[in-house]
């Protein structure tokens, strides 16, 4: 099923899958439709079921009468496939999915005048190119953060690893044992950018300036690095909870990960920490986007406004280990604490290469490798080809 969704997402880019015409943008809000259906990353929309202290759904349902229904997706390619299938009002899309959804006409422009809290969004994100096209906004920023390097502190007793090299090639870890079979990599084609980011520092002669705009030679170098990595990988992860179990029970020592897993493992008392190595990191700046054929647009707009409340933004950042898109959430939140934004990386914005969709025409007359090839070639890497 996962492979089918990956190929479906790739086909959507090649064929320009557009579906039905986009609905007219709302100019005023009406009564709620009693529900809103959201395609979201795991951990992004909590109603207190995992931990009663983290619940930003119950109050929204009580205030609006809109019941929140959630379908989790583990990769951006799954999100694109689910949005192509339909049946959702909103999606929490990362930058490697958002432009695909816009180009495929699976999402519609949003009227920011109907979102009173829009003006409180971090100015660095209000007009970001992954959700703004020709001055038109296609969503509401939600959260952002880095793809961190998570590691076992009993293996790295003397401090965090300083380079992503510990996951890209066979080497002995500080405990004297090989990393073979003790590292993981992300099960999504956008991970090719992580390899490219690493090569920017370690093979500067390639001339990579942006890990998402790769010429053929640069792209092939990234694939070569990933084919070598496959020889040491324990698992290509996409399920956050399975990765957590692998760190606890399967001897995994180090891997790219999300702050979400790090936070949960630390809360369990596991010997886990994370870092951003010297090469920097890829990352995600996620946008709540409205489906082109949303069945419940009024409830969807109500949710987008609710999503920008400082209380929700701060609670979610504390839960996921992410950074709020509303700076006001960084103070006065009991769960996040006043130090939480800095701890989660508020000051690392310029060190993050945020996910976005690779395209063939990458500017200045350059031809780059488009995303549909990233998908098919990464599937081949996973299959040992």
- pLDDT of 13 higher than 60: no
Strands (E) across the chain are located at 35-40, 67-72, 90-93, 107-108, 132-133, 136-137, 140-146, 148-152, 183-186, 233-237, 254-257, 272-275, 281-291, 323-324, 352-354
The number of C-alpha atoms within 13 Å of 175 and in the hemisphere containing its C-beta is 15
Distance of CA 49 to the CA centre of its chain: 23
φ, ψ of residue 134 to 5 degrees: the values are 50, 40
Q: How far apart are CA 364 and CA 16, in angstroms?
A: 24
Co-location of 123 and 199 in the same domain = no
Share of the chain above pLDDT 90, in %: 86
Residues 203-214: tens digit of each pLDDT: 999 999 999 999
Co-location of 165 and 36 in the same domain = no
Co-location of 258 and 372 in the same domain = yes
- What is the number of domains present in the chain? 2
Co-location of 366 and 230 in the same domain = yes
DSSP 29-56: -----SEEEEEE-TTSS-BSSS-TT-BS
What confidence score (pLDDT) does residue 22 get? Answer: 59
pTM, two decimals, is 0.85
Q: Which residue in this structure is represented by tokens 């809360």?
A: 267
Residues 321-370: tens digit of each pLDDT: 999 999 999 999 999 999 999 989 899 999 999 999 998 988 878 899 99
DSSP 278-330: TT-EEEEEEEEEEETT-S-HHHHHHHHHHHT-HHHHHHHHHHHS-EESSGGGG
What confidence score (pLDDT) does residue 385 get? Answer: 85
Residue 371 belongs to what domain range? Answer: 147-282+358-382
Pairing mode, if any, of strands 233-237 and 90-93? unpaired
What confidence score (pLDDT) does residue 109 get? Answer: 97
Would you mind telling me the total number of residues written for the chain in this entry? 385
What confidence score (pLDDT) does residue 365 get? Answer: 80
**Which CATH number do you get for residue 189?**
3.40.190.10
What confidence score (pLDDT) does residue 7 get? Answer: 38
Co-location of 88 and 130 in the same domain = yes
Co-location of 195 and 182 in the same domain = yes
Co-location of 11 and 120 in the same domain = yes
What confidence score (pLDDT) does residue 94 get? Answer: 93
Residues 222-272: tens digit of each pLDDT: 999 999 999 999 999 999 999 999 999 999 999 999 998 998 999 999 999
Co-location of 53 and 132 in the same domain = yes
What confidence score (pLDDT) does residue 6 get? Answer: 40
Tokens matching residue 8: 């479906």
Co-location of 54 and 198 in the same domain = no
Pairing mode, if any, of strands 272-275 and 132-133? unpaired
- pLDDT of 379 higher than 70: yes
Q: How far apart are CA 127 and CA 58, in angstroms?
A: 31
157: left (phi over 0), alpha (psi -120 to 50) or beta: alpha
Query: When comparing pLDDT for 31 and 21, which is higher?
Result: 31
- pLDDT of 14 higher than 90: no
- pLDDT of 10 higher than 70: no
Residues 77-134: tens digit of each pLDDT: 999 999 999 999 999 999 999 999 999 999 999 999 999 999 999 999 999 999 999 9
Co-location of 252 and 370 in the same domain = yes
Q: How confident is the model at residue 373 (pLDDT cuts 50, 70, 90)?
A: very high
Co-location of 251 and 373 in the same domain = yes
Co-location of 198 and 228 in the same domain = yes
């Amino acid at each position: 099923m996962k492979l089918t969704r990956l190929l479906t997402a790739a086909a959507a880019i090649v064929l320009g899958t557009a579906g039905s015409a986009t609905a007219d943008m709302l100019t005023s809000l009406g009564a709620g439709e009693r529900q809103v259906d959201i395609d979201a990353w795991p951990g992004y929309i909590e109603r207190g079921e995992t931990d009663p202290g983290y619940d930003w759904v119950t109050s929204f349902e009580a205030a609006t009468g809109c019941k929140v229904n959630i379908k989790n997706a583990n990769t951006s390619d799954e999100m694109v496939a689910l949005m192509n299938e339909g049946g959702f009002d909103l999606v929490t899309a990362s930058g490697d999915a958002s432009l695909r959804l816009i180009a495929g006409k699976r999402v519609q422009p949003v009227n920011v005048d109907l979102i009173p809290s829009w003006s409180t969004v971090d100015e660095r994100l209000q007009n970001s190119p992954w959700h703004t096209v020709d001055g038109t906004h296609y969503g509401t920023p939600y959260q952002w953060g880095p793809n961190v390097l998570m590691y076992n502190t009993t293996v790295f007793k003397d401090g965090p690893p300083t380079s992503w090299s510990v996951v890209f090639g066979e080497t002995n870890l500080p405990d004297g044992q090989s990393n073979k079979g003790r590292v993981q990599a992300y099960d999504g084609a956008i991970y090719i950018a992580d390899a490219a980011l690493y090569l920017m520092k370690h093979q500067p002669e390639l001339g990579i300036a942006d890990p998402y705009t790769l010429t053929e030679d640069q792209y092939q170098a990234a694939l070569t690095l990933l084919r070598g990595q496959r020889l040491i990988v324990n698992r290509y992860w996409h399920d956050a909870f399975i990765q957590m179990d692998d760190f606890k029970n399967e001897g995994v020592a180090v891997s790219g990960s999300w702050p979400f897993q790090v936070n949960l493992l630390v809360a369990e008392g596991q010997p886990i920490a994370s870092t951003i190595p010297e090469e920097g990191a890829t990352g995600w700046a996620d946008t709540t986007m409205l489906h082109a054929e949303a069945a419940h647009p009024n409830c969807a707009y109500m949710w987008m406004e609710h999503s920008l409340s400082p209380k929700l933004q701060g609670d979610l950042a504390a839960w996921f280990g992410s950074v709020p898109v509303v700076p006001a959430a960084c103070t006065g939140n009991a769960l996040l604490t006043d130090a939480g934004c800095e701890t989660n990386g508020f000051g690392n914005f310029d060190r993050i290469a945020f996910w976005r969709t690779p395209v063939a025409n990458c500017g200045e007359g350059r031809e780059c490798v488009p995303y549909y090839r990233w998908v098919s070639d990464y599937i081949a890497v996973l299959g040992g080809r």
